[in-house]
Amino acid sequence: MRHLELSAEDFHQLAHNIADFTANYLEALPQLRSYPRGVTGSDTERLFGTAAPLEGKGVEAFELLPTIFEWSRPSSPRFFGYVFGSGDPVAALGEFAASVLHQNVSAWRSAPAATAVERTVVRRLGEAFGCKGYSGSLTSGGSVANLMGLCMARDVISSDDRPAQQLGTIYCSTEAHMSIQKASKVLGLGRQGLRIVSVDETFRMRVDSLRDSILKDLKDGRIPMAVVASAGTTATGSIDPLEGISSVCREFGIWMHVDGAYGAFASLAMPHLFQGLVHSDSLSIDPHKWLYQPAGCGCLLYRDPSIAKRAFSYSDSYAQPLSQDPLEGFAFFEESIELSHPFRALGLWLSLHYHGIQAFRESIREDLRLAHLLKDAVLNEPKLQLLALSH
């Protein structure tokens, strides 16, 4: 007896129900409150904190779905919190299809089409940012992409058997995202391995302070490992002086990682603000931010895949690329922290093809126009103060 089997008929019915339910939800979305009213922790605990039943409930398992939607923060046009995209419904359908297909996109050998789709989508995104020839992979988000980029930087200056105190120093500005501090910790560098560089009055990293810090560390016998330039800081939207930072990186032979998690997408509309991006050794971008994708879609791009291989390639008898062919022998697990790798690219790929690049470019332009409208409104309101104006 097959305990987990679902008949084609039942799947049809359930999928139909979900399609109807989510389509209705999307229709109502613009009118929804930006936060559920009156829900408490004990409410959520009471309803969702119970154990799964021993005997299956069948279709009744879905009965709390409307409450889950109701007690959630909707991605409606009224919500401005966080740095988060709206979640394109086309990509959501792609995620549904990807889950049904259920690929392990660890290598071409285990998922030929999915691997080709992801490699293409990542490469094309790089090209859209002017980073032609970059490759990489999709991640769960920007924090993991930043960690992986910095892990590659560490491999350039160190080997696994080097004493910890020689593992290098990361430079970032006071405005850098907290994931850089986390990455420093995970890489074993801790707070001591992080230099926080001051910013100017527009919250951009001061290149002279960066240079001074590097010179001091070199004098103290430390190894400069990576500079993290922010292409769009979380709190102020400032873009670090990418050209100036890249010159310093070149001068001292330091890895340049750009955290463009959300801001780099503005280069699709205003490329002149991001001219130094092409000098980055690694670049993290989050399609789930300013490319309007559902949550769980980040991306790390890099110039030199051999360094990703050096950092992440650990094969074993159960996981080996069995071909030397550059396409058929390709393995994401040799260039990434992940082994099991979901088909994240399907939603993104469908979304890009469905709407076309120009639609994304125009949407970003429109968002920037709205940001300027907001700036004008703040300037015209005596009770409000404009704290940051990046561009």
- Record the tokens describing residue 164, joined without a space: 């910890």
Stretch that binds ligand PLP, among 101-109, 229-237, 339-347, 355-363 (CB under 6 A): 229-237
| Interaction of residue 261 with ligand PLP, rule CB under 6 A | yes
In the bound state with ligand PLP, the residue whose beta carbon lies nearer, of 114 and 261, is 261
- Class of residue 368 by CB neighbours under 10 A (exposed 0-12, middle 13-18, buried 19+): middle
- 177 makes contact with ligand PLP (CB under 6 A): yes
Q: How far apart are CA 349 and CA 277, in angstroms?
A: 23
Q: Of all residues in this chain, which one has the CB nearest to ligand PLP in the complex?
A: 141
**C-beta closer to ligand PLP: residue 136 or 321:** 136
DSSP 3-state of 68: helix
H-assigned helices in the chain: 8-28, 41-48, 65-70, 89-101, 112-128, 142-157, 178-186, 207-219, 242-252, 287-290, 305-312, 345-355, 357-379
Query: Which tokens is 150 given?
Result: 């910095």
User: Contacting ligand PLP (CB under 6 A), which of 286, 334, 335, 338?
Assistant: 286
Sign of CA dihedral 261, 262, 267, 272: negative
Q: Does 262 bind ligand PLP (CB under 6 A)?
A: yes
Q: How far apart are CA 75 and CA 359, in angstroms?
A: 19
Q: Which is nearer to ligand PLP, 225 or 261 (CB)?
A: 261
Which of these segments, 227-235, 310-318, 320-328, 364-372, binds ligand PLP (CB under 6 A)?
A: 227-235
Q: How far is the CB of 161 from ligand PLP (least distance, A)?
A: 31
Q: Would you count residue 301 as binding ligand PLP (CB under 6 A)? A: no
Specify the residue, 245 or 261, whose C-beta has the smaller distance to ligand PLP: 261
3-state helix, strand, coil in the chain (%, to 5): 50, 10, 40
Contact 172, 197 (CB under 8 A): yes
Does residue 240 belong to the site contacting ligand PLP (CB under 6 A)? no
Judged by CB, which is closer to ligand PLP: 169, or 284? 284
Contact call for residues 83 and 178 (beta carbons, < 8 A) = no
Q: Tell me which of 14, 29, 65, 83 binds ligand PLP, using CB under 6 A.
A: 83
Taking the complex as a whole, the smallest distance from the CB of residue 232 to ligand PLP amounts, in Å, to 6
Is residue 227 near ligand PLP by the rule CB under 6 A? no
- Our measurement of the distance from residue 139's CA atom to the centroid of its chain's CA atoms, rounded to an integer in Å, reads 6
- Output the six-digit token pair for 289: 């931010």
Contacts of 4 (CB under 8 A, 6+ apart): none
> What minimum distance in Å lies between the beta carbon of 297 and ligand PLP?
9
User: Residues 134-163 vs ligand PLP: string with x where CB under 6 A?
Assistant: -------xxx--------------------
- Token digits for 217? 């560390």
Residue 170: beta bridge partners?
194, 226
Cβ closer to ligand PLP: 83 or 116? 83
Residue closer to ligand PLP by CB (options 276, 298) is 298
Which of 146, 211, 200, 137 is CA-nearest to residue 177? Answer: 146
Q: Which is nearer to ligand PLP, 108 or 302 (CB)?
A: 302
Q: Please report whether residue 388 would count as binding ligand PLP according to CB under 6 A.
A: no
- Tokens encoding 68: 């889950």
Does 173 contact ligand PLP by CB under 6 A? no
Q: What are phi and psi of 343, to 5 degrees?
A: -85, 65
* Residue number with CB closer to ligand PLP (32 or 285): 285
Candidate list 169, 179, 181, 336; residue touching ligand PLP; CB under 6 A:
179
Least distance to ligand PLP from the beta carbon of 72, Å?
18
Give the binding site for ligand PLP (CB under 6 A).
Answer: 83, 141-143, 177, 179, 230, 232, 234, 259, 261-262, 286, 298
